Structure 1
C-alpha cells in the first residue's frame, strides 16, 4: 500500500497556474498537453531525488546519499496521464521546471500499481541516476517522512522504470541495499581535478 507524501502547496499551485495559463509560462507545454481537449488535473505528487553528490552522479561504487531536486506531478485528462510537470525550488519560491512526456510516464504508473499491491506501507518517490540515464520508483519505508530525507533506508525498495540500463531488470522490485551497490559499480568515476591546473 502507498502513502503519498504531501507536496508543498506552492509547488502544486504553480503547476495549476501553468495549466490554466499556458501562454504565461515557460517552458511551453508538451505536444500532448497542447493537443488535449478537456480539463486537466495535477495528481500523484512524487518527490524526485537524484543519487549522489551535488552533480547527481555519485561516487563510483558507493552511492548512498540523494538530494531532493524536484516535485513531479502527473498531469491527467480524465482517467489517463498524458504528461508530467516537474517543479523546483528557487530563491523566489516554487516554479515550473519543465513539462515532459515519454516512456517513464507509463512506467511510473505501472510501478505504482506494483507497489500498491505490496502488503507493507511505503512512501513513493522517484530516484534519478543521471550517470546511468536511469529512473526508479523509490519505496521509502518511513511513511511519515516529509519526502526530503536523503538516505535510502535498510527496508527501502527500488523499482527500476523502463527503459532501464542494460543488466538491470525493469519493473523488478529490488531491495535498495542490493541494487545500490550494483548501480555504484556502473557509475562513471568522478572527474579527477588537475592540481597543476587548479593551482
Structure 2
C-alpha cells in the first residue's frame, strides 16, 4: 500500500533547494556523487528525522523528538545524495549534503514499506547510542509529523548497516525492538553517530 509521506515545512525545502542552486555549496561538499552529478538536481522524498529519547515512565515507549528533515537529491534517474535540514530557533536551515550506505538502504526500506498491507506515515529514526538508523512506519498516516509519537502498532525497518543483534531490512514491530533500544537511549551519542 502506498505510504502517506507528510509534507515538509516550506522553509526546510527552500533551504535545500537554495543549497542545490549554490555552486559553492555543491562544489565544496564531500559527496562525490553529487559533485559529479550531471543534469538538474531536485529534492524529493522528504522524511522527518526523529531521535528516540527515554520513555517518560519505566517500561513505556520511547518518545520521539523531531530534529530535522532529509530529502533525497535526484540527479537524472538516480538518487545521488541526501540534503538535510535542522531546526534552529530561527526556523529550518540547511545542514549538509551526505551520501553513503544509509541513503541506499533508505531507498530499499521505502520500497519494502510500500509492499505492506496497511498505510503508514514514514519517518527516519536515529538512535545515536546504537549508531542506528531505521525507517519508522507510524500507524497514523495523517499524524502531524512534528508531534508524532511512537505507538505500539508502529513498525521499524532498521537500515544497513545495523548494530550487532539487530537485523537490517527486517520489519520489526516497535515493541519488539524497545528492549534493545531502551538501555542506549539515555547514553550519550557516539562520536560520528547519525543523529
Query: Would you say same fold, with TM above 0.5?
Result: yes
1:61–1:129 Cα change, 3 Å: farther
C-alpha distance after superposition, 1:60-82 (max 9, x if no partner):
98660121000000001122111
Out of 86-95 and 157-166, give the one that drifted further: 86-95
Q: Distance in 2 between matches of 1:141 and 1:188?
A: 22
Matching of residue 170 in structure 1 with residue 168 in structure 2: yes
Query: Shift in Å at residue 22 of structure 1?
Result: 3.1
The structure whose Rg is larger is 1
Please provide the CA RMSD for this pair: 2.4
Query: Shift in Å at residue 181 of structure 1?
Result: 1.5
Aligned partner of 1:196 in structure 2 is none
Q: Secondary structure of the equivalent of 2:119?
A: coil
Matching of residue 68 in structure 1 with residue 70 in structure 2: no
Q: Distance in 2 between matches of 1:59 and 1:133?
A: 24
C-alpha distance after superposition, 1:33-71 (max 9, x if no partner):
111111011000000001116xxxx99986601210000
Note the residue ranges of structure 1 that are not aligned, 5 or more in a row. Answer: 192-199
Q: Secondary structure of the equivalent of 1:66?
A: strand
Q: Tell me which of 69, 77, 80 is aligned to 1:79.
A: 77
- Whether contact under 8 Å (1:43, 1:73) holds in the other structure is yes
> TM-score under structure 1 normalisation?
0.85
Aligned partner of 1:35 in structure 2 is 36
> TM-score under structure 2 normalisation?
0.87
Aligned partner of 1:96 in structure 2 is 94
1:29–1:92 Cα change, 3 Å: farther
- Whether contact under 8 Å (1:62, 1:181) holds in the other structure is no
Q: Distance in 1 between matches of 2:94 and 2:22?
A: 13
- Whether contact under 8 Å (1:163, 1:170) holds in the other structure is yes
- Would you say how many aligned residue pairs link Structure 1 and Structure 2? 186
